[in-house]
């Protein structure tokens, strides 16, 4: 029998600077229950649906794939794989339009579905996950392609590997869902509370946190009730489900940490530097499915809403489903559409076409009319009213950042902590001059990243050039050293090995002199033999002078010939 929901101890809450009270417009999409989106004829799966390096395709055109099969593997550490959301045939691998603020196309795998929804060799369920090795859990989460589903799409396996220098004591679960119109996380918390808590338990084990603070805006009473009941039933005393005031953007990572703990993340740092880590509630749900059920991230909850559709609702959508299919399932357009926005009205971006696919980062499709997405009007000169600074939840000076971003003074705008801007849009919303401040800040960030990339490339090129010069200098020095050694060796007299009969001699013998001596010895021996036989040599006194000289020349030639023969034999041996 389930435990009754116990009244939680009052938790002290804090406030961040600025923020806005906006009409939430959430009731429209909560009037209908969650539905499963229809299987489309074609699925378009982008190879990069996450921060970091894009995935490398493992399939080719014509391949038959099953549901859950890995279509592309991660490339590098900060990367994530993508999987087949359904069974079918790969009919294209091409650069196609995707939902992205730049509007630029990207590589995609296109699957023609067969309607059979046959599962392949997906991850196997893990029954004893509570006692599994943490490295194995991280690997399963990585192989399942789980990324942050709150919007950033950062690979979760990387975020779940905190460094030893930053021990984590507090896990923050973000269930605020502060952006107007979006209700997919609200519905997830209402219907999947138990599985969300399983995911939280896995995250806690991987990061070593002692406690979990689960923040939910107080305009979601049913989600708060369901989760508190699930926590009580599971006896998780280390989890606190906390209702926080509805104030945009309380769902920002640093803003939620400030509200729940009163602590601030230093400029340019991440929450881990103060012993905290923050995950979206949908990410916790995806982690539970990946570990416990062995299910890769191939679907997610998406809110389809706005006055531009006839039946606003939440759908469980396969990744890669064309946006047009979801609009049709929500009753189609009403004819009042001014903009089709991915995300909410504050941080979302406009689509140029509804033929783009749903990605892992797609949480809402807002078909807005002119009232929901009014034309901001022509921007005029800044009147220095300071409203942007008063509304900024990150304690920045948007007015100063705007001047330097407009002048393309990137170094100066970074001095004003450009990268602490969360692009919430509060400054643009309150600006009486209708200046699109967030667009200037996004431009400055993009230009800064591009400049940094160029500088890194130039530095690598410089290092390669210096290494090449050093290698050439080293080779030249080695060549000169060898040449110098060769010249010195040629200047030294050649040292010959002594004859076998003279091994005990201290000095080496010239082979030519040895040959002459041997020839003279042979002549003396011949003369001695002739004397023994009674044969007298011809009296040289009777020879003429030319004859004597000829005999001497012949003797010398013979001696030289013998010497050369001896030398050749030594060299050949």
Helix (H, G, I), strand (E, B) or coil at 241: strand
Verify that 286 and 185 share a domain, yes or no: yes
Give the whole-angstrom CA distance, residue 437 versus residue 455. Answer: 27
The answer to whether 395 touches 333, Cβ cutoff 8 Å, is no
Average pLDDT, the chain: 88
| pLDDT (average), residues 343-367 | 95
Per cent of the chain over pLDDT 70 is 86
Same structural domain, 464 and 516:
no
Clarify whether residues 250 and 395 are in a common domain. no
Contact 182, 303 (CB under 8 A): yes
Residue of 271, 358, 347 whose CA lies nearest to 323:
358
465 shares its domain with 520: no
Q: Are residues 273 and 383 in the same domain?
A: no
Residue 73 resides in a domain: no
Q: Would you say the C-alpha torsion 544, 549, 554, 555 has a positive or negative sign?
A: positive
Q: What is the model's pLDDT at position 554?
A: 58
Per-residue model confidence (pLDDT) at position 164: 67
pLDDT for the residue numbered 120: 85
Instruction: Tell me whether residue 336 is in a domain.
Output: no
Residue 416: inside a domain, yes or no? yes
In a domain, 522, yes or no: yes
pLDDT of residue 508 exceeding 60: no
In a domain, 389, yes or no: yes
Q: Are 13 and 159 in a shared domain?
A: yes
Query: Which residue among 260, 295, 330 closes a domain?
Result: 295
pLDDT value at residue 488: 85
Q: Are 353 and 344 within 8 A, CB to CB?
A: no
Residues 136 and 5 in one domain: yes
Domain harbouring 177, CATH code? 3.40.50.11540
User: pLDDT digits over 60-106, tens only?
Assistant: 999 999 999 999 999 989 999 999 999 999 999 999 999 988 888 99
Give the Cα separation of 413 and 411 in Å (integer): 6
pLDDT confidence bin for 166, thresholds 50/70/90: confident
In-domain check, residue 502? no
Q: Is residue 61 part of a domain?
A: no
Rounded CA separation 123/136 (Å): 12
* Rounded Cα–Cα distance for residues 499 and 497 (Å): 7
- Residue 491 pLDDT class (50, 70, 90 cuts): confident
Q: Tell me: do 517 and 458 sit in the same domain.
A: no
**Shared domain check, 516 and 440:** no
The pLDDT assigned to 335 comes to 85
Range of the domain at 403: 378-489
Do 152 and 234 share a domain, yes or no?
A: yes
H or E stretch including 338? none
Question: Based on the domain organization, do 268 and 389 belong to the same domain?
Answer: no
Let me know if residue 302 belongs to a domain.
no
Range scoring the smallest mean pLDDT among 14-28, 116-130, 394-408: 116-130
Strand positions, DSSP E, 38-179: 42-46, 56-57, 64-65, 70-73, 82-83, 88-96, 106-113, 170-174
C-alpha 116, offset from chain centre: 34
Instruction: Assess whether 189 and 225 both reside in one domain.
Output: yes
Question: Which residue, 259, 276, 295, sits at the end of a domain?
Answer: 295
Closest of 388, 377, 384, 376 to residue 431, by C-alpha: 388
d(CA 43, CA 82): 13
**Nearest-angstrom CA–CA distance, 72 and 139:** 16
Is the bond preceding residue 246 a cis peptide, omega within 30 degrees? no
Q: 30-34, 312-316, 378-382, 488-492: lowest mean pLDDT where?
A: 488-492
CATH number for the domain spanning 419: value is: 1.10.1060
Strand ranges in 224-372 using DSSP code E only, listed in sequence order: 239-244, 276-280, 299-305, 313-318, 339-342, 349-350, 364-368
- Candidate from 179-183, 227-231, 477-481, 515-519 with smallest mean pLDDT: 515-519
Tell me: pLDDT of 501 over 70.
Answer: no
Question: Using one digit for the tens of pLDDT, what is the confidence trace for 443-486?
Answer: 999 999 899 989 999 999 999 999 999 999 999 999 999 998 88
> Of 334, 329, 325, 328, whose CA–CA distance to 306 is shortest?
334
Tally the domains of the chain. 3
pLDDT at position 173 over 60? yes
The residue from 489, 521, 547 where one domain ends is 489
């Amino acid at each position: 029998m389930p435990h009754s929901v116990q009244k939680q101890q009052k938790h002290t809450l804090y406030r961040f600077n600025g923020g806005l009270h906006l009409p939430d417009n959430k009731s429209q999409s909560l009037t209908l229950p969650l539905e499963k989106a229809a299987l489309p004829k074609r699925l378009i799966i982008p190879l990069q649906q996450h921060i970091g390096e894009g995935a490398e395709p493992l399939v080719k055109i014509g391949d038959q794939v099953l549901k859950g099969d890995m279509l592309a593997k991660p490339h590098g550490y900060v990367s994530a794989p993508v999987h087949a959301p359904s069974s079918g045939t790969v009919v294209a691998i091409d650069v196609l339009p995707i939902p992205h603020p730049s509007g630029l196309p990207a590589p995609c795998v296109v699957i023609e579905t067969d309607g059979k929804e046959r599962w392949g060799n997906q991850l196997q369920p893990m029954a004893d996950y509570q006692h599994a090795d943490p490295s194995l859990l991280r690997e399963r989460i990585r192989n399942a392609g789980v990324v942050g589903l709150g919007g950033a799409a950062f690979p979760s396996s990387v975020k779940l590997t905190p460094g030893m220098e930053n021990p984590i004591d507090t896990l923050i679960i973000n269930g605020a869902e502060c952006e107007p119109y979006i209700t997919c996380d609200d519905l997830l918390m209402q219907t999947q509370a138990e599985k969300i808590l399983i995911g939280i338990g896995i995250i806690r084990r991987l990061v070593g946190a002692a406690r979990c603070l689960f923040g939910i805006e107080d305009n979601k009473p049913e989600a708060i009730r369901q989760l508190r009941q699930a926590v009580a039933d599971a006896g998780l005393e280390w989890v606190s489900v906390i209702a926080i005031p509805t104030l945009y953007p309380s769902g920002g990572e640093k803003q939620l940490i400030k509200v729940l703990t009163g602590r601030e993340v230093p400029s340019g740092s991440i929450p881990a530097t103060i012993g905290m880590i923050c995950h979206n509630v949908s990410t916790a749900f995806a982690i539970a499915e990946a570990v416990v059920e062995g299910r890769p991230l191939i679907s997610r909850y998406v809110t389809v809403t706005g006055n531009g559709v006839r039946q606003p609702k939440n759908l469980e959508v396969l990744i890669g489903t064309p946006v047009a299919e979801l609009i049709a399932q929500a009753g189609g357009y009403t004819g009042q559409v001014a903009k089709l926005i991915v995300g909410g009205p504050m941080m979302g971006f406009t689509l140029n076409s509804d033929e783009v696919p749903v990605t892992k980062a797609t949480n809402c499709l807002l078909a807005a009319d002119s009232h929901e997405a009014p034309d901001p009007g022509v921007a005029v000169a800044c009147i220095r009213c300071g409203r942007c600074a008063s509304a900024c939840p990150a304690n920045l000076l948007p007015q100063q950042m705007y001047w330097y971003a407009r002048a393309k003074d990137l170094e100066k705008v970074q001095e004003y902590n450009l990268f602490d801007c969360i692009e919430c849009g509060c400054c643009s919303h309150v600006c009486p001059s209708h200046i699109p401040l967030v667009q200037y800040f996004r431009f400055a960030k993009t230009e800064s990243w591009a400049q940094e990339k160029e500088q890194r490339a130039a530095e690598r090129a410089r290092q390669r050039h210096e290494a090449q010069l050093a290698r050439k200098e080293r080779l030249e020095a080695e060549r000169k050293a060898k040449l110098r050694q060769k010249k010195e060796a040629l200047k030294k007299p050649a040292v010959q090995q002594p004859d076998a009969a003279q091994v005990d001699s201290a000095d080496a013998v010239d082979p030519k002199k040895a040959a002459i001596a041997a020839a003279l010895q042979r002549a003396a021996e011949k003369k001695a033999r002739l004397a023994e036989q009674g044969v007298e040599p011809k009296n040289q006194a009777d020879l003429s002078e030319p004859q004597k000289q000829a005999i001497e020349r012949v003797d010398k030639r013979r001696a030289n010939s013998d010497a050369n023969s001896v030398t050749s034999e030594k060299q050949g041996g």
